[in-house]
Structure 1
Amino acid sequence: MIKQLIRVGFFALFVFQDLSAQNQKPLYLDDTKPIDARVEDALKRMTLDEKIAIIHAQSKFSSPGVARLGIPENWMTDGPHGIRSEVKWDEWDQAGWTNDSCIAFPALTALAATWNRDLSSLYGKSIGEEARFRNKNVLLGPGVNIYRTPLNGRNFEYMGEDPFLSGQMVVPYVKGVQSNGVAACVKHFALNNQETERHGVDVIVDDRTLYEIYLPAFKAAVIDGQAWAIMGAYNKYKGQHLCHNQYLLNDVLRGEWGFKGVVISDWGGVHDTKQAITNGLDMEFGSWTDGLAWGKSNAYDGYYLAKPYKALIEKGEFGTKELDEKVRRVLRLSFLTTMDKNRPFGSFGSEEHGLAGRKIAQEGIVLLKNDRSVLPVDLKKTKRIAVIGENAIKMMTVGGGSSSLKAKYEISPLDGLKKRVGKEADVVYARGYVGDASGNYNGVVTGQNLEEKRSAAELLAEAKNVARSADVVIVFGGLNKSDFQDSEGNDRKGLELPYNQDNLIKELVKVNKNLVFVNISGNAVAMPWINEVPSVVQGWFLGSEGGNALADVLVGDVNPSGKITFSFPVKLSDNSAHSIGEFPGGKTVNYSEGLFVGYRHHDKSKIKPLFPFGHGLSYTTFEYGKVTADKKSMAASDKITFTVAVKNTGKREGSEIVQLYISDLKSSLPRPVKELKGFEKVTLKAGETKNVSITIDKSALSFFDDKKHDWVAEPGDFEAIIGASSANIKSKVKFTLQ
């Protein structure tokens, strides 16, 4: 902190000295001028050492500005679910601040499950305000890597298996963050779909699959969201690490998409100075140094884009053309963020942000199954509620890797339910199983003592006894953020629930049929007991207000409206990557399933999933009319609108997500049976009917022709399919592209 205060003072001193020698204000300080002109003016004033300095780190999470010119440092913060607590300058240990406890927002899996673009905007705006208040000008998020396998440890940070949905949800998030003068750094670009061998695995994928499945969400963030930063991935593609990858960074990101922002390395993702110079990287962070390579000098000078780069310039092996391009982009970042005098001040840990997180969590919770209407819990008829499971009490904001947070508070499911139920019913808790008793990640300590001396048999006996005497049993289980679960660094070892939870659930339902299983996770899990358990809820990692949001839905104060954004397979071999043995690979992993990820694979192979993509129930019911098109034939330059009437046929207000899938009935290349190309979330009062319209253009009909290296929409017959999920089809209409 003292270092930072000294630097601020030096900035002011140097700026004063620099300006006092001139009769007029330098162009780079004149924010009425175009940014490009200001960048060029600042660039020509910089020395070689200053240029080298600003393209690599000076601490764990910061890079230098140009003190002499009054250009501030850049400060990064991990996201994308909250603002990470402060660590020491050169270490991962906690800095010991007492005012860096943030609001923990729901994981991005939960945000995506809302299918609500407005909530994505609210999320981005809120977390951007938290970052701005903490004086961070780059938020390391959101993540939009595609859900290829349910074993990926980082799936909880992403937005699901469908590129269209991910693209639609990432754009408002990016715009919301950047409205605060904070850059969204969209990650991890690209093909970063596993943690196993993540630093070296080379992904083999055909161009068509790359462009149709793995790039669209990034493209949307760049072109529609106008993201100011992109983070490279750890893995390789075409034999090159993705933090300095000629094809994806130079040819695609900058060449095809026209990206003007900064490419930032993932921490430790840089491996070669010459490739880092030429292959699209701008800012290097987290490279591993021993602190001794340059004697007593700063270890950060040993980074690939530090002294080694300068030495190559001094030897004449490189000019300054590439360096100047990098510096231009970093300066542009500064002028958009720290040098923008009109950027708002932000706010941190506020009640408003807590309520935003609660609203997002409420809409993201998914009711997967509800036989016999066990939910919502009727407090007029219920006298005793049994709550069972470690996940009812375990704090989930700590752990999971770089998204681990030091939250200002976290409402557990048990506490949220007790608070809501109050004196209306008794809430009795039993542990049921022991998972992870620890509560310490990177020096952030929950303070919970979850140690358990009783045996598994004793815990099971207690749980059954509590369940037997209850009117309803709610089991909070699933995964946690420990290694080999939902956590950065390692992938899951299997699809099954850990800690022998399957046996617990099977035993509990024998003594009480009114059982609800709440799956706290960012991943699909196997449910071998599904036919015996009447109600299942997908509860995600919901952040500070998670317990309150879950209680809101479980007792019916809020009608669930979320829908899952990835398929739940019955067994692991029902997933396409696993069905062909292409996960996790070794030094290479071959995406030979191609386009057929998630529901695309299930459709093609006629596999019935446990729960299909886009599935989610409500406490009310909806009736769909017949979809109509505003024209039977469209020209390539036209748009076409599909309209369907949706009626709430139940007794309470609810929201339904109308999904539009497009099927190409005859194509020169193999295509999925159908693909999501539109959706709208509509809220209806009991008995109310609304017309829902979704408009598409020819881009929704196009596929990527790798031989032409272009998007192609072939004339012919198509079908528009309206569904309540990818498997629950309501109506179809044919149309023709001329």
Structure 2
Amino acid sequence: MMTRGTRSLLNVLLRSAVLVGVIGVSPALAQTTNNAPAAAAAKTDAPVARPWMDTSLDPSVRADLILREMTLDEKLQLTFGYFSTDAAWLKTPTKNWEFPKDGLPGSAGIVPGIARLGIPSQWQTDAGVGVASQRSATPRLRTSLPSGILTAATWNPALAEAGGAMIGNEAFLSGFNVQLAGGMNLLREPRNGRNFEYGGEDPLLAGVMTGHAIKGIQSEHVVSTMKHYAFNGQETNRFTIDHRIGEQAARQSDLLAFQIANEIGQPGSVMCSYNRVNGHYACENDWLLNTVLKKDWGFKGYVMSDWGAAHSTTEAANAGLDQQSGWAFDRSPYFSEALREAVNNGHVSTARADDMARRVLWGMFSVGAFDTPVRGDRATTIDYAAHAAVTRSDAEEGIVLLKNDANLLPLAKTAKSILLIGAHADVGVLSGGGSSQVYSPNAPTSGLIVPDEFNKGFPGPKTYHASSPMTALQARTGARVTYLDGKDPRAAAAAARKADIVIVFGEQWTGESIDVPDLALPDAQNALIDAVARANRKTVVVLETGGPVVMPWLSKVGAVIEAWYPGTAGGEAIARILTGEVNPSGRLPATFPASLSQLPRPVLEGDPKLDRDAHPMGNYDIEGAAIGYKWFDKTGRKPLFPFGYGLSYTRFALGGLKADAKGKGIAATFAVRNTGSVAGKTVAQVYVAAPGWEAPKRLGAFKKVDLAPGASQSVATMIDPRLLATFDTATATWTIAEGDYQVMLADSAVSIAQTVTVHLPAQTLDSRGK
């Protein structure tokens, strides 16, 4: 349930939207100098009636109405998109590339509209946590949400939706109506450089949280993608690696996450990924696109390729790809003249060409992109103060307290000196790198408050948001707060001995296109933390990481906070948690392993030295659907920190669990009580278990609860029948076996408070779980 505070923030956000204006869409792009498509041929220059502008009609009906008026060239124009940045940035084999007419500088791209029919251009922005900018001398400055994995750590769907609405609003007011958001690949590989963009390791949690984020974005008349479909679990050899996985395991893991997000968010578009799946590229994979997505799930929107993920014309179109995006990252403009020829000679049917255009139009109609159009860059209307409150609330609920010996936190008001060490905590907080990079609205025009320490091009620059933990702490404590960069461990240890409390900020910068070599903090930070902790037991470690890390110094420090990448108000959020102004309530959305040896793949698959045409293999059948906590349950291995784990400054009691069969699922009720002395939030988790599954138990439901001291609340949850079933690949159905099912009320994947048994009859559900 949305809290009063969250509802207020969302209302402020929605009131701030300026949804006005009528667009005059430019004609199609003129032919560029090499292999670009010609302008669409119009039937006539005379005005045409536009019955498709009747907003009372269903988007499918509206799409069919406009489709009847379109020439073949106009239909195909909707299937081809251009990259929209300067040629100096572009480093591909493509020659004679030109900046597209009407494209927004530094953006992801444009698909030209058709003025004759009132079809808006599709102005696309990279996204995930906000309106991203391609690297340039003067990047677009916008509000950044915390990383996706932090939002997942809130376990609060209302916050995810409010955050989505916020970044969708900024996209709309910046002239964009397509946002390349909705990242949700499951965390199979903790070293994956893009884990920070995604929703953790569990299909229910990732699907629910990402689905609500998509729903929020699209409430602002902006199409959101859902990506990267599918099994894009690492960056090493991401263009060519072939992930092999059986269908049952696939349906019960990554695909279930996408399916849940699709049902909640109803995305206008799905972005197919770079990698191969079971021998076929994801963007020309008939099973993934036609069978699973469009047939079994009934997806009505369009499939766009990732930038550089298209590999063919006829094969891709017939396999379900509806739009080639981001030319000129691909080797050829496959959906330009080649697609027109393929349709004309019958290799791609006219019915399929109609379907491709119809799906694009449906996606635009479904979010109101025709009815409330964007125009240009109107950033002066963005309410940055209101948006800062949204992103800060997100960060505060997703920061996870991992350790707190002797109640070291919240910081004692009697402390007279606090020493901060490392990670530029004097000026800002870290963000993840790559195409999702957002630059702070309060940063210099370059977007950088710290000189680029990566300095190797993409996925840099390594960027910090201008939200200083040091400044925020100085405003909240009576202590003298000082800072050291930590480059000299001996000097840091000497200074630590003189301080009442030491806070070491440990960072792990990750980004698109690169995976981390291991789970250790880089650049000798573990040695620094060890030296400081030996000098002062009252050492707090604040981790700014893209995912799980190991902590060889854990026993020596007094407290540990996982702050992830906390966004453009992250410094304030960290300070409010440290001082107790906010009670931490984040819970881990991913298991933290104790070592690489505990993983299904201790050595990362794929040789990073292979060229683009290589065909490395990835074996996801090792763990199948037993990802994360399920793998640890199955193998009996003890993690450093389990899935669902997190501490608070107060205490909670769970009990009174009752569960009964209801419909085709299970209804579970229970009570949560705050037994401590301060207000706080907790996440009650319900797991289910039955014989013959991929692992001993699955997450079945969860609820975030906000309670005053001594207060209690009754909670009712419903367990989706697909989480009680196995997928039958022969019949494409979900089957629930007759028998006894264990329903467990828990504080984490390893902390079970109560268990009850429910007997279920044998049942069969269709591919959509109905």
The interval holding the TM-score normalised by the smaller chain is: 0.7 to 0.9
Equivalent in the alignment of 2:507 = 478
Find the partner of 1:207 among 227, 247, 271.
247
Equivalent in the alignment of 1:654 = 680
CA contact (8 A) 1:576 1:593 kept: yes
Find the partner of 1:499 among 511, 523, 532.
523
Gap change, CA 1:138 and 1:21, over 3 Å in 2? closer
Gap change, CA 1:35 and 1:697, over 3 Å in 2? closer
Structure 1 counterpart SS, 2:695: coil
Q: What residue identity is the alignment partner of 1:376?
A: P
How far off is 1:373 after superposition?
A: 0.9
Q: What residue identity is the alignment partner of 2:743?
A: A
Q: What does the per-residue CA deviation read over 1:434-463, in whole Å, with 9 as the maximum and x for residues that have no partner?
A: xxxxxxxxxxxxxxxxxxxxxxxxx22221
Equivalent in the alignment of 2:481 = 427
Equivalent in the alignment of 1:384 = 417
Q: What residue identity is the alignment partner of 1:583?
A: E
In structure 1, stretches of 5+ residues that fail to align are 294-301, 434-458, 481-485
Q: Is 1:716 the equivalent of 2:739?
A: yes
Equivalent in the alignment of 1:165 = 205
Find the partner of 1:691 among 708, 714, 719.
714
Aligned residues: 671
Q: Is 1:147 the equivalent of 2:198?
A: no
Quote the Cα distance in structure 2 between the aligned partners of 1:148 and 1:182: 30
Equivalent in the alignment of 1:599 = 629
Q: What does the per-residue CA deviation read over 1:211-253, in whole Å, with 9 as the maximum and x for residues that have no partner?
A: 1111112111222321111000000012211112111000100
The correspondence of residues 724-735 of structure 1 with structure 2, limited to 5 A, is 724-735=747-758
Equivalent in the alignment of 1:462 = 491
Quote the Cα distance in structure 1 between the aligned partners of 2:626 and 2:177: 38
Find the partner of 1:681 among 677, 687, 704.
704
TM-score, with length taken from structure 2: 0.83
Gap change, CA 1:396 and 1:306, over 3 Å in 2? farther
Quote the Cα distance in structure 1 between the aligned partners of 2:165 and 2:317: 34
The correspondence of residues 227-376 of structure 1 with structure 2, limited to 5 A, is 227-288=267-328, 303-337=333-367, 339-342=369-372, 348=382, 350-376=384-410
How far off is 1:280 after superposition?
A: 0.7
Gap change, CA 1:143 and 1:420, over 3 Å in 2? same
Gap change, CA 1:395 and 1:49, over 3 Å in 2? farther
Gap change, CA 1:205 and 1:316, over 3 Å in 2? closer
Structure 2 counterpart SS, 1:524: coil
Q: Is 1:190 the equivalent of 2:219?
A: no
Quote the Cα distance in structure 1 between the aligned partners of 2:490 and 2:676: 40
Equivalent in the alignment of 1:441 = none
How far off is 1:576 after superposition?
A: 2.4
Gap change, CA 1:284 and 1:470, over 3 Å in 2? same
Quote the Cα distance in structure 1 between the aligned partners of 2:421 and 2:570: 17
Q: Is 1:534 the equivalent of 2:567?
A: no
How far off is 1:315 after superposition?
A: 4.0
Q: What residue identity is the alignment partner of 2:127?
A: G
Gap change, CA 1:176 and 1:706, over 3 Å in 2? same
Quote the Cα distance in structure 2 between the aligned partners of 1:232 and 1:318: 20
In structure 2, stretches of 5+ residues that fail to align are 1-21, 29-38, 85-108, 443-464, 608-614, 762-770
Gap change, CA 1:272 and 1:638, over 3 Å in 2? closer
Structure 2 counterpart SS, 1:429: strand
Q: What residue identity is the alignment partner of 2:340?
A: K
Gap change, CA 1:307 and 1:394, over 3 Å in 2? farther
Quote the Cα distance in structure 2 between the aligned partners of 1:30 and 1:76: 25
How far off is 1:40 after superposition?
A: 2.7
CA contact (8 A) 1:71 1:339 kept: no
Equivalent in the alignment of 2:548 = 524
Q: What residue identity is the alignment partner of 1:732?
A: T
CA contact (8 A) 1:103 1:349 kept: no
Find the partner of 2:670 among 644, 657, 679.
644
Q: What residue identity is the alignment partner of 1:709?
A: A
Runs of 4+ aligned structure 1 residues displaced above 6 Å come to 17-20, 343-346
Q: What residue identity is the alignment partner of 1:427?
A: V
Gap change, CA 1:723 and 1:37, over 3 Å in 2? closer
Quote the Cα distance in structure 1 between the aligned partners of 2:180 and 2:162: 18
How far off is 1:394 after superposition?
A: 6.6
Gap change, CA 1:557 and 1:479, over 3 Å in 2? same
Equivalent in the alignment of 2:642 = 612
Quote the Cα distance in structure 2 between the aligned partners of 1:655 and 1:34: 41
Gap change, CA 1:502 and 1:397, over 3 Å in 2? closer
Structure 2 counterpart SS, 1:577: coil
Q: What residue identity is the alignment partner of 2:511?
A: S
Q: What does the per-residue CA deviation read over 1:169-198, in whole Å, with 9 as the maximum and x for residues that have no partner?
A: 122212111111111101000000000100
Q: What residue identity is the alignment partner of 2:504?
A: V
Q: CA RMSD in A?
A: 2.6
Equivalent in the alignment of 1:77 = 125
Quote the Cα distance in structure 2 between the aligned partners of 1:114 and 1:391: 25
Equivalent in the alignment of 2:539 = 515
User: Which stretch of structure 1 is more off in the superposition, 398-407 or 157-166?
Assistant: 398-407
Structure 2 counterpart SS, 1:77: strand
Equivalent in the alignment of 2:456 = none
TM-score, with length taken from structure 1: 0.86
Q: What residue identity is the alignment partner of 2:79?
A: I
Q: What residue identity is the alignment partner of 1:193?
A: G
